[in-house]
Amino acid sequence: MSGNEMWGGRFAAGPSEVMEKINASIGFDKKLFRQDIAGSRAHSAMLAARGIISEADRDAIHDGLNSIEKEIEEGRFEFKVALEDIHMNVEARLRDLIGEPGARLHTGRSRNDQVITDMRLWLRDEIDGLDKGLEALQIALIDKAEAHADVLMPGYTHLQSAQPVTFGHHLLAYAEMTGRDRGRLADCRKRLNECTLGAAALAGTSFDIDRSMTAELLGFDRPTENSMDSVASRDFIMEFLATATICSVHLSRLAEEIVIWMTDRFGFIELSDAFTTGSSIMPQKKNPDAAELVRAKPGRILGAFTGMALVVKGLPMTFNKDMQEDKEPLFDAVEAIALSVAAMAGMVTDMEPRPERMRAALEAGFPTATDLADWLVRVLGLPFRDAHHVTGRLVKMAEDKGCDLADLSLEEMQTVEARITDDIFSVLTPEASVASRTSFGGTAPENVRAAAARARQRFLG
């Protein structure tokens, strides 16, 4: 059977070679075969339950679909470009196998509602898999944070040393970002989990179908409300791609930090050979290639979102062939984000901090300056802006001398603020600074351990 015969009797001549190539999607949408067959099983079961086809026809259709699914899984199925897409390839083979009952399968539906159902089923499964991957990343982050709740490191703003923090606290920041990513995915899944089958081409169908039954058989929450919206909308794809873009940006930020932490200048962490590569000519090199590749992925994922938005922008209702361009960017983006998540979970599990290098980095940049200002407010009662000014003068004094704040003498400090006492030195070590940050959400080690326990309950419980 030719593609022309599958369209119907209106066309007298077959398509040109160029038309056949630009029109066909079987090269990429064949990955939807399981979803397409599942949709056809549910649709035929519903048709039989409503008396639209016989139970014998339903059974023949199911037997044929089972055979086709096995053929595809075993690599014995011949995909034909002339049949354009996965739907027509499956239907044509079904008719070859079972004859007339196969021709009854398409009653009460269109390729328009069929393809959207396939896409929703496929993306729903991918979201579930991606959520499991993000959960694994959170586990790795929380485990690592608990193990290193006491390890001190510089916290940065503008990539300049700002205040001492703990490595565990730093990692839990990414656990929070990942939690929001999972929340956005769950919201996206909830909105896409509606069944379009029965919307038909755009106006519904005159057959007495039961769309709620079809939706239930396929695990959807409900059928879509409006038949035109059902076939015209791709916002569930755009929502996923936007969510994936945000997630990939979060992963890229952590990837960039891993790259920085592994440089000779920082040396904050070690990664094993599992996630690094060597140089072809420089034997001393150990390159964080996995992190660098994760850092690059947002470009292609954001590109997929932008491309999808531009495909839909300005399209009149309802279905237009432009929408065939939704699949390849989505498939690519799903692969990219899933691989990025898996790679990051592996790197977080694999990496080990170098506490001595992190602690040494706290000897530069005056990271306890804020603690000095807070002491002036808390002990001497200075307004914070005045304390900020005093601290700035002391920083300048230490800078001129080439020493840290804690290395200034009491007498030198008193030339700037006469009421300063020896107690000031109790807050000028990184250890004291970190231990004092006990406000909710703060970096104190006891806070980190409590936050990690809460994170397990909130995200993993």
Residues belonging to the active site: 158, 279
Q: Residue with structure tokens 């390729």?
A: 111
Distance of alpha carbon 375 from the chain centroid: 43
Beta-strand relationship, 194-195 and 352-353: unpaired
Spatial distance between the Cα atoms of 27 and 159, rounded to a whole number of angstroms: 47
Spatial distance between the Cα atoms of 336 and 298, rounded to a whole number of angstroms: 9
Spatial distance between the Cα atoms of 130 and 334, rounded to a whole number of angstroms: 9
- Contact assessment for residue 387 and residue 440, using Cβ atoms and an 8 Å cutoff: no
Contacts for 390 with CB less than 8 Å, ≥ 6 apart: 373, 376, 382, 416, 417
Picking from 290, 295, 287, the residue whose alpha carbon sits closest to that of residue 254 is: 295
Spatial distance between the Cα atoms of 214 and 129, rounded to a whole number of angstroms: 24
